[in-house]
Amino acid sequence: MSRPNNIQVSPHFRLYEFEDRAFDHVVVLHPLLLERLELLHSALAEKLEHQVAICITRGSVTVRSNNQLGKILGWIGEGGIVSRNSRHLTKFGGIAADLYTIDQETGLMVPTGTVADEARPLFDVVLDHYPTHIHVDLRDSAKPNTEVRAVSEARP
Ligand SMILES: [Zn+2]
């Protein structure tokens, strides 16, 4: 294993893609987020009729890492753009991702509006006002009680 978290966790994603990029490779990944990202991958490939790659630019974020970013980019409410209560924080259970998509046949980035349109039915919140990526999260669907219910229903 050449680096930490170099583990295939679904057909199109490896665990390290979701880790905190600044400190210690900490990663929290909710299984429902992974499931929905695979569905997004299928939806985009079908819509564009091309092979696509979804690139995760931000997954799990530790408090330490978020504080560092807040100091650099400023906090929301104080003229900045970083949320003190970012859904990327590990305490929320690995329910958020920032991502962009590459059309693998043209090599070009798929417009964020196109990605957001396909993402909207799959996630609770989709933010597409950023130029380089969209934000998706499952702040309602991935609550712990929801997960427990889904697991017990799946058992015979
Ligand atoms: Zn985000």
Nearest by Cα to 79 from 88, 67, 70, 66: 70
15: in domain: yes
Looking at residue 142, its pLDDT comes to 87
Q: Is 20 among the domain residues? A: yes
Asked, for residue 70, whether it belongs to a domain, the answer is no
pLDDT at residue number 78: 95
Q: Is residue 16 part of a domain?
A: yes
Q: What is the chain's mean pLDDT, rounded?
A: 92
Inside any domain, residue 49: yes
What's the gap in Å between 38 CA and the centre of ligand 1?
18
Per the domain annotation, does 78 fall within a domain?
A: no
Q: How far is the CA of 135 from the centre of ligand 1 (A)?
A: 4
pLDDT at 155: 46
State the average pLDDT over residues 15-40: 95
Indicate the pTM of the whole model: 0.88
Rounded CA Rg of the chain: 16
What is the count of structural domains for the chain?
1
Where residue 144 sits, what CATH number does that domain have?
A: 3.30.1380
| Alpha carbons 87 and 56: distance in angstroms, whole number | 15
Separation of CA 48 and ligand 1 centre (Å): 24
Name the least confident of 10-14, 97-101, 151-155: 151-155
Mean pLDDT of 141-145: 75
Q: Three-state SS across the chain?
A: CCCCCCCEEECCEEHHHHCCCCCCCCCCCCHHHHHHHHHHHHHHHHHHCCCEEEEEEECCECHHHHHHHHHHHCECCCCCCECCCCCCEHHHCCCEEEEEEEECCCCCECCHHHHHHHHCCCCCEEECCCCCCEEEECCCCCCHHHHHHHHHHHCC
78 φ, ψ (degrees, to nearest 5): -125, 25
What's the CA-to-centroid distance between 103 and ligand 1, angstroms? 21
**What pLDDT is stored for residue 145 in this prediction?**
59
Instruction: Specify if 73 maps to a domain.
Output: no
| Domain limits for position 118 | 8-59+93-154
Please give the average per-residue pLDDT across 61-84, as a whole number.
94
Residue 76: inside a domain, yes or no?
Answer: no
